[in-house]
Amino acid sequence: MKKSVEWKITAQDGEARSGILRTRRSVIETPVFMPVGTQATVKGIRYEWLETELDARIILANTYHLWLRPGVDVIRQLGGLHKFSTWNRSLLTDSGGFQVFSLTDMRKITEEGVEFRSHVDGTKMFLSPEVSMEIQAALGAEIVMAFDECPPGDAGIEQTQKSLEMTARWARRSKNRFNELQNEGADTGFLEAQSLSGQQALFGIIQGAGHLNLRRESLEKTTEIGFDGYAIGGLSVGEEKSVMYEVLEFLAPQMPPDAPCYLMGVGTPEDLVEAVYRGVDMFDCVLPTRNGRTGSAFTSSGKLNIRNAKFATDSEPLDIECFCSVCRRYSKAYLRHLYLSKEMLASILISHHNLAFFLDTMKKVRDAIKLGKFGEFRREFLSRMSNN
């Protein structure tokens, strides 16, 4: 039977591995950083830039936001998210759960699903594994996520146990509805592909907060159902960094070896390198564009804020080692002036550089793994990042 995605490890260095992920729409080298396009746009960055200079092969879109606005019917009518947005490379959509659970005052969770009020207009809405799969089929991304419950980072054992059991039941319901929808032809992104099925891929999510035995239990329950890839959820939600590293160290080596491992919503450049070191293959995070909008730039010698007075007459680029089009042309002094003048171009340019930095860091990570020098790369990278 043809698969919906193919993933092969091509080089390994310790737990870190580099590989090739093929979807029906693009070939993606892993480890990969996926820019976040919440509203089917990576904030401030035209697709032309993402396709050419930045060369992002896959981006993320948020089910919750697109469901509320412009709405599933509109997107379906326009032929799915690829046709609607004109992004022709791979997309990954989340389940919508994470956003709904963060509406702590406006939601009610039951076995059936979650009732909540829309943050846009206050309408009563209902999200469940089935509804999430239906929306994600209408959006038509290459990779869709099972609907899970994400307990708070400091959740106790009992609450986490209950939550992961429900997540496992929801994962099964997600997969059942997902299969029906694929058979019904509801996936708007279906694409004939030579060696692939042309259908969407479904990833399962492992929960369990910082409790290692619960993480193992969640892993067992999720792999038993069987998915095309596996994500680690519920990290970077307010717990200590050391907890995240401990969970990854424990979990990654036990993950199914023939499927990519995706760490959701993480993180800083240091987090990415540390997670790759522990065996993670896929990442997404809003940091490059969110920080870009507040004047904060990631560079090869740590973070800087363009508001800082010391940049007022600094004629050097954001990062002297960066080859992005922003660093090739504009100085810190000019970017600072744009930022302080509240020119929208400041956010656009710094976001662009930040994305270039994240994507380039992942390229360096892959190259180091291929050369068997990832350990060395990691030591040097972390020491340079901690300079500032």
Least Å distance between CB 328 and Zn ion?
8
Q: Which residues pair with 126 in a beta bridge?
A: 115
Residue 53 and residue 324 in contact, taking contact as beta carbons nearer than 8 Å: yes
Check if the beta carbon of residue 97 is closer than 8 Å to that of residue 147. yes
End-to-end CA distance of the chain: 52
Closer by beta carbon to Zn ion, 67 or else 330: 330
Looking at the Cβ atoms of 81 and 326, the one nearer to Zn ion is 326
The residue among 31 and 292 lying less far from Zn ion, judged by its C-beta, is 292
If one counts every other C-beta atom within 10 angstroms of the C-beta of residue 271, the result is 21
Active site residues: 94, 284
Judged by CB under 5 A, the number of residues near Zn ion is 6
Stretch that binds Zn ion, among 11-19, 56-64, 283-291, 327-335 (CB under 5 A): 327-335
95 neighbors 61 (Cβ within 8 angstroms) = no
Segment near Zn ion (CB under 5 A); pick from 26-34, 178-186, 350-358, 364-372: 350-358
85 vs 351, beta carbon nearer Zn ion: 351
CB of 35 to Zn ion, least distance (A): 15
| Paired tokens of 195 | 């060696």
Considering the complex, what minimum distance in angstroms separates the CB of residue 319 from Zn ion?
5
Q: By CB under 5 A, which span of 127-135, 289-297, 343-351, 356-364 interacts with Zn ion? A: 356-364
C-alpha distances in Å from residue 38, one per residue of 64, 91, 152, 351, 380: 9, 11, 22, 15, 33
Minimum Å gap between C-beta 358 and Zn ion is 11
36 binds Zn ion (CB under 5 A): no
Q: Does 322 bind Zn ion (CB under 5 A)?
A: yes
User: Residue 61 pairs with which residues in a beta bridge?
Assistant: 93
Sign of the CA dihedral running 364, 368, 369, 370: positive
Indicate which single residue of 25, 332, 336, 353 sits in contact with Zn ion (rule: CB under 5 A).
Answer: 353
332 touching Zn ion, by CB under 5 A: no
In which residue are the tokens 């002297």 written? 320
Comparison of 220 and 321: residue with beta carbon closer to Zn ion = 321
Smallest separation (angstroms) from Zn ion to the CB of 335: 11
Q: Contact 289/351 with Cβ under 8 angstroms? A: yes
Residue 327 engages Zn ion in binding (rule: CB under 5 A): yes
The span of 59-67, 171-179, 181-189, 317-325 binding Zn ion (CB under 5 A) equals: 317-325
E strand segments, 218-331: 229-232, 261-263, 282-285, 296-299, 302-305
Q: How many CB atoms lie within 10 A of CB 286?
A: 18
The footprint of Zn ion (CB under 5 A) covers 322, 324, 326-327, 353, 356
